[in-house]
Structure 1
């Protein structure tokens, strides 16, 4: 089973309507423009920029009953987090009005590397939504506690165990080494 490198995954996200060669050209233009800016190790620079954008937690929709849908915060895997980041990057780039697509991406990658820009705002919007969800869930937990005291203790234990497990699964430092060039 062949694992795709970060470069291949990035080109895959750039690709539209199966035009892989066009996506590769755009990627090469991005690299050339970054070389003109005198960035020493471009591949690490791009990776670090994407790493700064990636979220740790996402929102999952869970259906309860026929119509009721609840949103639950969930820890993301490395691939899911990377997907979020690249989608946000492309969404923000499409909104901007600059001459070439590659120059827009370079501009956003530089902003992402410096932890500023529109893509980082997308990440913080997601985190704000998650924060609100957690606060709302806290209210529900308190109501359940007043009905049955035993249930809350079990729930708290489960939450503590699950957070420990998820923290161990998602080690951000190893993510930078993932893939080959």
Structure 2
């Protein structure tokens, strides 16, 4: 049974069907056209970064509010926690990838996380972005070198592992072969 379409589909016109449930769509407010699914529609309406689609400057506030609720619900369901907006951010700006910032209470540098600091300057954002990119590269290298399928990152156990390591912080030491084998 196919999934029920979300509310975001009401704000676009389907132009052409694409593989895997995606469409070429046209925004009802600004006539911008792009390929994708529900995530990219919400990204366009909410001006989310990292989805490769431009923002809509003509979307009414009530449409943004309804899409914000859907985006928050989906993000909460996917990652087990709701997103907290940082000051100065647009609606729903932390993308799903941002939740892999591992550190929940403190960042790896020992400072309070961005969520509790309030204003985050451009230098902090650039530094955190570089650290995040390095972490992605290390996870990708491990997955490739050990022949672990990339879809395994969807596992709730993978996310649980990253969150647990993030709570420990930089003092975490990987378990030995014997410890993993015996537990």
Q: Same fold (TM over 0.5)?
A: no
Give the TM-score normalised by structure 1.
Answer: 0.28
State the structure with bigger RCO (CA 8 A, min sep 6), 1 or 2: 1
Give the TM-score normalised by structure 2.
Answer: 0.28
Larger radius of gyration: 1
